Amino acid sequence: MHLGKGIALAIALVVLGSHAALSEINRASFPKGFVFGTASAAFQYEGAVKEDGRGPSIWDTFSHSTGLIIDGSNADVAVDQYHRYVGDVQLMKDMGMDAYRFSIAWSRIFPNGTGEINQAGVDYYNNLINALLAKGIEPYVTLYHWDLPQALEDKYTGWLDPQIIEDFAIYAETCFDKFGDRVKHWITFNEPHNFAIQGYYSGFEAPGRCSSILCQAGNSTTEPYIVAHNVLLSHATVADVYRKKYKDKQNGSIGITLDVKWYEPETNATENIEAAQRAQDFQLGWFLDPLIFGDYPSSMRSRVGSRLPNFTESESALLKGSLDFVGINHYTTYYARQNKANSNFDLLNDCVADADAYTLPIKDGNPIGDRANSMWLYIVPRGMRSVMQYIKKKYGNPLVIITENGMDDPNDQFIPIEEALKDEKRIKYHTDYLTNLLAAIEEDGCNVKGYFAWSLLDNWEWNFGYTSRFGLYFVDYNDNLKRYPKDSVAWFKNFLAST
């Protein structure tokens, strides 16, 4: 008996715990033209931080500061993709990937953030783009993946100053001019929510600003909101430039990538349902509401008050609709409840306390799902479908691309490489999340057109250094950074071979 695609999918979802049943999904299960790829970031991959005229970034400075990276490492070499991109492109080709999402290091193009263009940097990205296209792999390019040129941080504190809007626009337009004849998919920012919080509230990430004694400077009550405001206006300005000067002749598209945890109410009590919504407002809504509706969520306006910057009418008009697609990085799901202890936090007036929502991946002592290596990453596949449903309902079903999804294993020195390559847990992760994504498309009508696995290679994972392995390929840090395919590579190759 031949089952319709929808019925077969429904059965697969019922037996979500059965790996055998789920393994039947493949490329052919997804709509025609759906794009599969892997994702990376310049600072986590390239290395070669002092070669060919590249200037330092805030992450170079941060990672060389004592005690900020868990294993004391830095990304001076990372996984050396700067010198090994030809081989890495072949790895993608061998798997059957359609696309590669990578970021351009601003300080390779403008070592001082502004001023004279560094031709060697332009040449490198031209070579990478051409190598991808020669293998039939479409480049998806992120303009900013956290690595602000240190010169701009020194000059005017970077994202805290409106001057950044003009400087980012010049950098972005330079990239459109140099690469846009071949790059048809642009992403202005990767996870602005993340770097606004971690860089300016907690100080855990570059440039390491916060109000506590852990930081040398900063104001956790105001700076995350100022940074986010300038990022949003930078995106809107750049999108406007692209649409007016480049889109028609280059036939491309422009979007932004936002990090999204799904938040489930801890109970169905009204106060917890409302807390989950506020948690989402202060995460996804903080950025997507202005880009779709022209202003911040009302819950942010009422709770943050004068600390939340205002958009002028012209800025609101520029923001509204300033994207062709929404990139979503989704990994995990947490519970949310009203913060009963909020009275203790009122004096903080910061962007976490403002949400009046307590979020945690544990309820009554039980985790929401199996945990990956990262302490924040719990495996909850249903969250993928819930996020897609939410975006469709609230934002009018915009075009979505899953720009990151994946999980990590520990970098355990005592596990032989042949054992580390057996990543059944990762295979199940991608299978289960893709099954839920497919349900969102087929059953719920969500407008999703692509999926990028994080990541092609094990890499330098920000604060966690080399302790965390997200790659489909194992990188041997003890033997010339050799790449070895994990079992998930064979799984993806088989998944993508079906048409």
pLDDT score of 316: 98
Candidate list 46, 153, 404, 461, residue with the active-site label: 404
Candidate list 138, 191, 266, 461, residue with the active-site label: 191
User: Which pLDDT tens digit goes with each residue over 47-87?
Assistant: 999 999 999 999 999 999 989 999 999 999 999 999 999 99
User: Which pLDDT tens digit goes with each residue over 407-440?
Assistant: 999 999 999 999 999 999 999 999 999 999 999 9
Residue 274: active-site member: no
pLDDT score of 344: 45
Mean pLDDT along residues 10-30: 60
Asked whether residue 340 carries a pLDDT value surpassing 60, the answer given is yes
Band of pLDDT at residue 24, cut at 50, 70 and 90: confident
Asked whether residue 2 carries a pLDDT value surpassing 90, the answer given is no
Residue 153: active-site member: no
Band of pLDDT at residue 349, cut at 50, 70 and 90: low
pLDDT score of 10: 47
Complete domains list, the chain, with CATH: 29-497 (3.20.20.80)
Q: d(Cα 26, Cα 13) in Å, to the nearest integer?
A: 15
pLDDT score of 438: 98
Mean pLDDT along residues 160-188: 98
User: Which pLDDT tens digit goes with each residue over 241-262?
Assistant: 999 999 999 999 999 999 999 9
Mean pLDDT along residues 100-106: 99
Band of pLDDT at residue 339, cut at 50, 70 and 90: confident
pLDDT score of 308: 98
Across 110-124, 256-270, 350-364, 382-396, least confident range = 350-364
Asked whether residue 342 carries a pLDDT value surpassing 80, the answer given is no
Mean pLDDT along residues 148-153: 98
Mean pLDDT along residues 368-391: 98
Q: Of 1-15, 183-197, 331-345, which has the strongest mean pLDDT? A: 183-197
Q: Which of the pair, 1 or 379, is modelled with greater confidence?
A: 379
